[in-house]
A and B are shown apart, each in its own frame.
Chain A
Amino acid sequence: MPRVNKINQPLDSYKGGKSTLCPGCGHDAISNVIIKAAWENSIAPEGIAKMSGIGCSSKTPAYFLQQSHGFNTAHGRMPSVTTGANVANKNLNFLAVSGDGDTASIGIGQFIHAIRRNLNMLYIVENNGVYGLTKGQYSATAEEGSRKRKGAPNELKQIDLCAMAINLGCSFVARSFSGSRKQLTALIRAGMSHRGMAIIDVISPCVTFNNNEESYKSLQYVKNNNEELHGLDYIPHFNPIQEIEVPSGGYKEVKLHDGSYLRLETISEEHDVGSKKMALDALREAEEKDKHVTGLLYFEEGIPTLDETENLVDTPLSELPEELLRPNKKSLDDLLTKFRA
């Protein structure tokens, strides 16, 4: 018998179709983490909605969670489609995958406004600094001076999606690396437990177009220049005494919406995840040293989500019966009487 999770599902229930990405692509590593995280969190796969835009990253929803409905929308439009789906059925667990072209260029407006509305969703950016499907043009997250496999170094300043999200008031902002499996798993599991918008910007090397040593987003460069803010462990609400080694040094715990915890183990200087200033300083300092800072940058609990500000009925709108959708005849008669007065 295969191992099952809390809802009696084997890991296989969370898998997807065969990936068609390049062998060794960072995105596949992330897909595997998503599969594992959803399984470990014991989320019912049918309750998940997989959302994506266009690009290499946005193809991946076909490669995980095949028991979940998904929508591979249009380039840069995933946030708006998710917004509509979110108000239509607020009970769905929205798991979105996007890329740096999809989010930082063509879809940057929708990214910003989805944060503003605080959609209840997990938004993973698979960030490699280049457009893969169109064969290797720089994206807006490529660092100034970084160089891809072919062509001149990138001359423009990068857009830092994490800094932008923090400034916009996003309640869960993290950066990670597709090669840091443990950290990424903890963050994705925590993102799934968060209520409100959780953004995880995952540096995910493009092995084909941007994996040379002059690239700041190559596998080797990120490995050598990854500054982890803290060690991370996820402690699920259904098993609070799960065997997790108690760190010898200092640690802090962040309580998540569903009762789970994210344990932050101090590595060097303590990072206060409740401080926007510290988060932005950490990003700025890393940028100045051409490093990547990873971990949970910022966290805030209790910001109203879109479905709350919309004051929607408890039942998902997609499931309402006719009598709640169409006002009765008397109401129309009364209205007409008023018009005729």
Chain B
Amino acid sequence: MGKIINDFTINIATANGTGSQSANLILLNALFRMGTHASGKNLFPSNIAGLPTWYIIRVSDYGYQAPGGKTNIQIAMNPDTWVEDIENLEPNTVLIYNTDTRLPVDREDLILYPVPMGTMGRKINPKLAKLVANMIYVGIVAEMLEIPQDILEEAIAKQFGGKEKAIQINSQASISGREFFTNELNKADNYYVEKREFDKNQFLIDGNEAVALGCIYGGINMLSWYPITPSSSLAESIDAYVPKLRLDKDGKSTCAIIQAEDELAAVGMVLGAGWAGARGMTCTSGPGISLMSELIGLAYYTEIPSVIWDVTRVGPSTGLPTRTQQGDISMLYEASHGDTQHIVLIPGNVDECFEFGWKAFDYAEKYQTMVFGFTDLDLGMNLWVSKGFDYPDEPLNRGKVLKTKEDIEKIENYGRYRDVDGDGITYRTLPGSGLEPIVSRGTGRDEDGVYSEKSDIYRSNMERLRRKIEGSRTDLPQPVLREEKEKELGIIYYGSMENTIQEIDDILEATGMKVSQCRVRALPLSPEINDFIRRHKKIIVLEINRDGQMYGILRKEIETELVPKLHSVAFSDGLPPKAIEYAEAILAKLEAFEI
């Protein structure tokens, strides 16, 4: 058998709370520094300590970032999942396992590397034995794959940023693992890592931190939040960056951060800040959106700039709180009672997380409405590759705010809700200005903002609101199109599916078909998507939820004659999408409909 270079998936099974996370990140970072396309997915439980966790690292010279279809190298540390971790492995899989668990391994068809990691860890540091044991397997893997120690040392240093003691212990543990592999084991596998050209511009970052930085550079004035996985780290990241980037020369803050009593209050604070003329934002996950829906409608109807980031997890209800899904997209689009429609920004990578992070505030103030950012646990909490964030290329857009008497006099017959420009966006004045004050209210009101229950006034106001949001279709981030000249099959997808789409495309094209792609980046949908559908013979709408939520939105919004072209491929098991599974589902769908 020849060497298998830079093309494998490692699965590391540990229990949470054992400190494996830093070891896994070091391994990932070392692979990244080798210039390989390495990505890591953390599958963790809704628990603090003791329950099973898996970390899946994909290394691929093709640039594939999704977990591979099968495990090539299994690291078994967790007694609780020992049996299933091992029995599911295909023959010839590498199994590196901790012999100190004293659990049996009865698979002779595997490549076995037994290592007494606990004992080795205790020798290095009895108090920290459990933590150190994790670095032993990092050393084993590094030696096995031929990752140079100096690269590993760089990754260790980065992980522990200047903490000399931690760097020393972890380095020692990794060397101990290497020595064990060299002295006690014989390499019987064919997996190797080869150095590739490392793009010095690249780094790894998770989507939550990228959104947080986007907000910081978008001039966020108030973050209100209620802790919920997987969005908490977004709020905590803003909290960490405000003291570094958003204090004035006297050390005073330009951004308030309030941990709210619940999501009802968190969104209320966003509305209050927006109403008073500042940039307010909250972040949450699906259950939070459910609670916030009441005031989401108030923001829409009273036309208050507001921003909410939804880092989606698996629903319905409490669901699988630490797993990923695109299950909230239809809820976000029409959240709250009555007729509503909200702008939803859908980044597909960390660079867009940053970009849409600052743009969300501009759209919210420009359209005087609720703007959602939509990511998910996979994009929000796993490390993705960035080539660097672009500094905002346009000034803040504060929207139609009248600041002086002269401003108002320029407008004939000013009224808070009178559409003088014909774009549905009306002019507002801010509290404290003394200019044309009204009582903002969720009840019916006329163009001057005065309470009204009149039918024609209600209806024309609602039509204007529709016109206003309609106007954003060509202004929001437009879809990213990658088209084949054959215009045979087009895949419409969005968000974190971006990580998997290239591999899906390659699998499909290997069967001889030509596949175009259209990545949706915002709701309401761009007219370009309608045109993309028109140009193609058949369309698959690919998403990570059960019901084909984007498919439903498309059916409602595209031209009726194009609807029969659409076919939905949608499912969700809580895990980041694997290319082979979605590709097979697409092929099955095409076959079933003979399309």
Q: Are B441 and A72 in contact (CB under 8 A)?
A: yes
Q: Are B278 and A322 in contact (CB under 8 A)?
A: no
- B76 CB–A CB distance under 8 Å: no
Residues of B near A154 (CB, < 8 A) are none
Residues of B near A329 (CB, < 8 A) are 391
Residue of A nearest to B440 (CB): A71
Known: A89-B431, A110-B268, A113-B265. A70 touches B254 (CB 8 A): no
Which secondary structure dominates chain A's binding surface? helix
Min CB gap A120→B, angstroms: 13
Min CB gap A114→B, angstroms: 9
Q: Are B222 and A87 in contact (CB under 8 A)?
A: yes
- CB-contacts of B245-300 with A (<8 A): 245-246, 248, 250-258, 260-262, 264-280, 294-295, 298
- A34 CB–B CB distance under 8 Å: no
* Complex CA–CA separation, A74 to B273 (angstroms): 15
Known: A326-B217, A327-B216, A341-B158. A318 touches B430 (CB 8 A): yes
* Complex CA–CA separation, A221 to B342 (angstroms): 51
Q: Are A85 and B261 in contact (CB under 8 A)?
A: no
- A62 CB–B CB distance under 8 Å: yes
Interface centre among A84, A306, A332 (most CB of B within 10 A): A84
* Complex CA–CA separation, A32 to B137 (angstroms): 76
* Complex CA–CA separation, A329 to B393 (angstroms): 10
Q: Are B295 and A74 in contact (CB under 8 A)?
A: yes
- CB-contacts of B170-211 with A (<8 A): 200-203, 205
- B369 CB–A CB distance under 8 Å: no
* Complex CA–CA separation, A201 to B353 (angstroms): 47
* Complex CA–CA separation, A230 to B272 (angstroms): 37
* Complex CA–CA separation, A307 to B252 (angstroms): 11
Q: Are A327 and B246 in contact (CB under 8 A)?
A: yes
Q: Are A81 and B439 in contact (CB under 8 A)?
A: no
- CB-contacts of B201-250 with A (<8 A): 201-203, 205, 213, 216-219, 221-222, 224, 245-246, 248, 250
Per-position contact with B for A1-25: 1 when CB-CB < 8 Å, else 0?
A: 0000000000000000000000000
Q: Are A49 and B434 in contact (CB under 8 A)?
A: no
Per-position contact with A for B428-462: 1 when CB-CB < 8 Å, else 0?
A: 01111111011111110000000100000000000
Residue of B nearest to A322 (CB): B396
* Complex CA–CA separation, A92 to B438 (angstroms): 15
* Complex CA–CA separation, A255 to B251 (angstroms): 32
Q: Are A325 and B389 in contact (CB under 8 A)?
A: no
Q: Are B278 and A317 in contact (CB under 8 A)?
A: yes
Q: Are B278 and A318 in contact (CB under 8 A)?
A: yes
- CB-contacts of B479-501 with A (<8 A): none
- B388 CB–A CB distance under 8 Å: yes
Q: Are B252 and A88 in contact (CB under 8 A)?
A: no
- B395 CB–A CB distance under 8 Å: yes
- B316 CB–A CB distance under 8 Å: no
- A80 CB–B CB distance under 8 Å: yes
Known: A332-B391, A339-B203. A84 touches B276 (CB 8 A): yes
Q: Are A80 and B268 in contact (CB under 8 A)?
A: yes
Q: Are B437 and A62 in contact (CB under 8 A)?
A: no
Residues of B near A332 (CB, < 8 A) are 217, 389, 391
Q: Are A110 and B265 in contact (CB under 8 A)?
A: yes
- A73 CB–B CB distance under 8 Å: yes
Interface centre among B251, B302, B391, B440 (most CB of A within 10 A): B391
Q: Are B275 and A110 in contact (CB under 8 A)?
A: no
Min CB gap A59→B, angstroms: 9
Residues of B near A89 (CB, < 8 A) are 276-278, 430-432
Q: Are B262 and A109 in contact (CB under 8 A)?
A: yes
* Complex CA–CA separation, A81 to B256 (angstroms): 14
Q: Are A320 and B431 in contact (CB under 8 A)?
A: no
Q: Are A84 and B269 in contact (CB under 8 A)?
A: yes
List 29 A–B pairs whose Cβ atoms lie within 8 Å, in order of A's numbering.
A46-B434, A47-B432, A61-B439, A62-B439, A62-B451, A66-B437, A69-B438, A73-B295, A73-B298, A80-B265, A80-B267, A81-B272, A84-B272, A85-B275, A109-B264, A113-B260, A311-B252, A313-B252, A316-B432, A317-B256, A318-B221, A318-B276, A322-B396, A324-B254, A326-B217, A327-B245, A331-B245, A335-B213, A340-B201
Given contacts A71-B440, A80-B224, A109-B265, 16 further A-B contacts (CB under 8 A): A50-B439, A68-B437, A69-B432, A71-B275, A73-B268, A74-B294, A84-B273, A84-B275, A85-B431, A311-B252, A312-B256, A313-B250, A318-B221, A318-B430, A325-B221, A339-B203
